[in-house]
Structure 1
């Protein structure tokens, strides 16, 4: 199976690295195209495009100016150790050993507005470019047009090769929308995490994001090879709810903490 995650807005380039291993992103030429397009934006124009504060806009204009190849451990960081946020708190990649990283490199991918599709150890330089950004390019009016078909082809190839499908969608709607599902030949399963509050099960964003990372960690640590084994996920009180699930939408529920 192939696990999909979203990236995070918050980045960590200061903590000590827990591995010296790294790999190179597959789509750096495309990333370079986007960087060249972004370098045309002033801080004010970028703030408007991305709904950023003046401070964040200035920071990212500087990041685009400083972005350069080749990527090395001196100017970039493995993606899974660069992203912070709720999902990555659940993933806890800094605790992975070499065997965990071997499995993750084969079975985990991170969707990215700038880098397209990342392996956990792919080096990345700091950036801010959400997949939903309406950045026009020669491919179309937004990043969905820019990345869509490339992502579908890449995911199919991965799922049909070493990762051996299906695709487990643990990404957000904003990011998975970049994958044209109709073009996929591989089944997609979407785990959904719900908390019972006031007698009603519902998705609580903070908890659901963290649970997505925990499920990816569960698969990595247990070296799962078949999607059905994910139904045994029982971290943080979640349990698979077969009576509320369908073939491609698996619900995991718990009492609200």
Structure 2
């Protein structure tokens, strides 16, 4: 079983922690790096759809970028609500082994990452409107390579990623594999709704729960009851496991 999550926009550098591997699709990442390095500041800012402060920092990242120096393990590089609730800094050795073997982070820049792959700060969302020769967008650029890599040694994936990122896997699914999503929701006026912040918290907490409990069977996640969430058999089906708080 593999689990996929989205990256975070904000990143940091922590070179004190040892990386285990280089990202698998580094050649494709290098191509994207050179593409962005050839953009003017205004072109890059338009690509990133952000304010001047963020754009200047991101532009500096790419101007001085080396994909092989000052690397941070991916799981520690991303900052955000989801990663805060995963809390990798307090994992023990066995928990590190579990998460390295099961978790995959999807990325518009790196494609797919294992937690201890070495990365550098960047800014490039999967839905960014890149103008690469011969490709419509990043979904087209990555094609089915991420799907094939993800299912290389498993036939079941738990999806904890946002639609922007899960889309790059979903469009290539077939009858030979399973792809099961999780929905974290709540009732509002007799309707089930999902709140972004709470969903991010729950996704991170789910990863932490699976790591602490060494979960190998996807049905075991139905016992998840943190942050007030409880499994709803009524709302769940074979492709979507629903938790309601």
Superposed displacement of residue 10, structure 1: 1.1
* 2:167 maps to 1:172: no
Which residue pairs with 1:100 in the alignment?
95
Find 2:208's aligned residue among 201, 206, 217.
217
Which residue pairs with 2:228 in the alignment?
237
Q: How many residue pairs align between the two structures?
A: 244
CA distance in 2: counterparts of 1:233 and 1:47, whole angstroms = 41
Once the two structures are superposed, residues 104-141 of structure 1 have per-residue CA deviations (whole angstroms, 9 ceiling, x without a partner) of: 11100000011000000111001000000011224512
Find 1:123's aligned residue among 109, 112, 118.
118
Contact 2:184 2:199 in 1 (8 A): yes
CA distance in 2: counterparts of 1:182 and 1:35, whole angstroms = 26
Which residue pairs with 1:34 in the alignment?
32
Superposed displacement of residue 60, structure 1: 1.4
CA distance in 1: counterparts of 2:134 and 2:119, whole angstroms = 23
Contact 1:148 1:180 in 2 (8 A): no
Which residue pairs with 1:9 in the alignment?
9
CA distance in 2: counterparts of 1:85 and 1:139, whole angstroms = 34
**Partner SS, residue 105 of structure 1:** helix
Q: Give 5+ residue unaligned stretches, structure 2.
A: none
Find 2:71's aligned residue among 56, 76, 81.
76
TM-score scaled to structure 1, two decimals? 0.90
User: CA RMSD, aligned part only?
Assistant: 1.6
* 2:219 maps to 1:228: yes
Q: Give 5+ residue unaligned stretches, structure 1.
A: 160-164
Q: In 2 relative to 1, CA 27–244 (structure 1 residues): closer, same or farther, beyond 3 Å? A: same
Contact 2:67 2:120 in 1 (8 A): no
CA distance in 2: counterparts of 1:49 and 1:108, whole angstroms = 29
Which residue pairs with 2:80 in the alignment?
85
Q: In 2 relative to 1, CA 240–151 (structure 1 residues): closer, same or farther, beyond 3 Å? A: same
TM-score scaled to structure 2, two decimals? 0.94
Find 1:20's aligned residue among 10, 18, 33.
18
